[in-house]
Structure formats: structure tokens, C-alpha cells
Amino acid sequence: MKLVFATHNQNKFQEVKNLVPTSVELVSLRDIGCYNEIPETGKTLEENAQIKADFVTSTYGLPSFSDDTGLLVNALNGAPGVYSARYAGADKNANANMDKLLEELHAIGDRSARFETVIALNLNSGCHFFKGVVHGSITKEKKGKKGFGYDPIFQPKGYDKTFAELPMEQKNGISHRAKAMKQLVDFLATLTNS
């Protein structure tokens, strides 16, 4: 089965490719010749994920899935949330996003947060949603060189390291994206086994 993962983010693509069974030929937007920046105009993670998957399916006629991820900080009423990638501006600069968040939490004691990923899958004329959540907290400084996005300042609950300090295999065992992807992979398995 050929399936498009509607992303331009090669770090994210590699992370997800490691989670998909070899029976699925996973391709990126670049692989199908799509260089458009698909606008994320939704008000929720679900809406943004569906907008991107729908764009690929309607434009290229291919089964597709897309994810949208938000970092929700309790002390900031769930911000940055759906605006996580553009928190410090439209250029999606990860370091600027982290710096802004650390500044806003500078004098706040409650640093609890969660990552949420929602995947929208367009397959066989239907749209299916999968959601993964991981709880943790925001550190006071960036730690680690692995990962991407907010990984250097997010410490998952029960761990003494940030996502950016954990090996990819370990992160993929506990992350929000991995949890949502497991649901997606299990769903695909039911189709191929039926």
C-alpha cells in the first residue's frame, strides 16, 4: 500500500517512517512533487490535520494522512496549542518558539504540559482520526541535541531527560506521535488482515 504522509518536515517523516510497517510504502510531499505550503487555518489540531490530508487526497488522488501536534501548557491555558509551530512568528523557528515559551514561564511555578498529536487518515473514501497524548513538564533550559521542535524543553513524566536527550528509539516508544501512529498502524493492519 502506498500512503502519503503530508509533511515537508524531514525529521518528522523519518521519525514516522521508523514506526510504519514495511508493507506500507510511505512517501512524503516531496516524493509526490508537492512543494505547496498547505495553510493550517483550522482552530483545532483535528481540523489542521484533516485540511492537510484532504489537500493531498483531492489534489493528487492518493490515500494520505497528516498530523498536527500541539504543546499545551497548563499555566498558559493550553497555549501555544494549535499555534505551536508559529508561536514566535510565521517563520516556524523552533529556537524562537522555545525562547518565547521559556520567557513566559520564567516566574511561573506550574510547568506541567502535554503534547497532543492528532492524525487524520484519508483512505477508502473515509476520514479516520487517531490521537496520542504524553504528559510532562517544561524544563527551565534547553537540554539535548536530538529531536526537533520543543523536544529540548519537554521532559516526559517519569523521565529525568528531555525528548531531545532520549535516543529516537526510546522517544518513539513513549511519544504522543508514536501513540497516535500505533493506532494508525493497528488500523491499517486490520485492513490488510481482513
Catalytically annotated residue among 31, 54, 67, 68: 68
| Rounded Cα distance, 53 and 25, in Å | 17
Q: Is 68 a catalytic residue?
A: yes
| Rounded Cα distance, 149 and 116, in Å | 13
Residue whose grid cell is 520543543:
150
List of E strands, 32-140: 64-73, 80-81, 112-123, 126-138
Four-residue CA torsion sign, 86, 91, 94, 95: negative
| Rounded Cα distance, 118 and 132, in Å | 7
List the catalytic residues. Answer: 68
